[in-house]
Structure 1
Amino acid sequence: MKKLILLLSIFTLTACQGQKKEQKNPKPKVVKTESEWKAELSSEQFEVLRKKGTERAFTGKYWDHFEKGTYVCGACENPLFVSETKFESDCGWPSFDQAIKGSVIYENDYSFGMSRVEVMCAKCGGHLGHVFDDGPKETTGKRFCTNSISIKFKPAN
């Protein structure tokens, strides 16, 4: 009987090791009221960054921008993407194959009858866009489809 209990205990422990706990997104470090964000952001920035809107394709400032530098959050200036990860995707929005480690958080998005993964700034929670699995196969295979109005560009020195 003791052997059976020992075996069941070992089986239970090893079976649970393979299960991954669901990781929750950390709370944003920059917390402001809706009124504070409205006072700081343009109405277009507020609509996209705080209300999860989307700018029209091929209208944003950075969709075809390829200078050397860093793209930061348009609300809190958290560094998000480096120019070396930007690629031409022809989708009409700035596209990157990876974000700076720890700079973004992800959330499942089932709006408009679709299943997507939303990308947000890890510092302020601002909506940046979505990530898809149709990026360059020779790098990460990811496409961070990002609203130009959600980001700012800081040129390299």
Structure 2
Amino acid sequence: MKKDDFQKRLTPLQFEVTQNNGTEPPFQNEYWDHEEEGIYVDIISGKPLFSSHDKYDAGCGWPSFTKPIEESEIVEKEDVSYGMVRTEVRSKTADSHLGHVFPDGPGPAGLRYCINSAALRFIPKDKLEEEGYGEYVKLFR
């Protein structure tokens, strides 16, 4: 799919975040305080990225997760923008910007995946089968 096609399909914010490495405002995005059980998928490819079981309130104003569902779907790149050195997180399949990962999270790996809501689509656990994500129902048993 070409960038023009994405621009037609996505909201301006979704396009800016995923295609131009943008960042949405903290505490003013769809999923920062979302607590429903389910999975978060890439808004572009539909690939599963994160589970609500791995989501926590990091106090940063963006959805934060301790780990991805499938590590193979996450690509990390050095980001030196804005005078900082950070690790950018991108989706492997769609090559879309998701957010950043930081070494200050809870859990065994100590990671915090700080992700833009605009890069995600949420699938509630009771709609996983219906939406074609039946293999992920096991995460909620």
Give how far 1:139 is off: 3.0
Which residue pairs with 1:121 in the alignment? 91
1:61 aligned to 6, 25, 30, which one? 30
- 1:88 & 1:43 partners in 2: Cα distance? 26
Summarize the alignment of residues 69-84 of structure 1 with structure 2, pairs less than 5 Å apart.
69-84=38-53
Q: What number of residue pairs does the alignment pair up?
A: 125
**Whole-angstrom distance in 2 between the partners of 1:103 and 1:87:** 20
- Paired residue type of 1:152: R
Q: Deviations over 1:106-154 (max 9, x none)?
A: 1110111110000011110110000000101x43210000001110110
Q: Report the counterpart of residue 61 of structure 2 in structure 1.
A: 92
Distance 2:48 2:27 in 1: 23
Structure 1 counterpart of 2:2, one-letter code:
T
* Residue 9 (structure 2) aligns with: 40
How big is the alpha-carbon RMSD for the aligned residues of Structure 1 and Structure 2? 0.9
Matched, 1:152 2:121: yes
Q: Which residue among 76, 79, 101 is the counterpart of 1:106?
A: 76
Unaligned runs of 5+ in 1: 1-31
SS of the aligned residue for 2:17 comes to helix
TM-score by length of 1: 0.77
Alpha-carbon separation, structure 1, partners of 2:89 and 2:32:
17
**Identity %, equivalent residues:** 42
The structure that has the greater radius of gyration is 1
* Residue correspondence of structure 1 range 3-22 to structure 2 within 5 A: none
TM-score w.r.t. the length of structure 2 is 0.85
Corresponding position of 1:131: 101
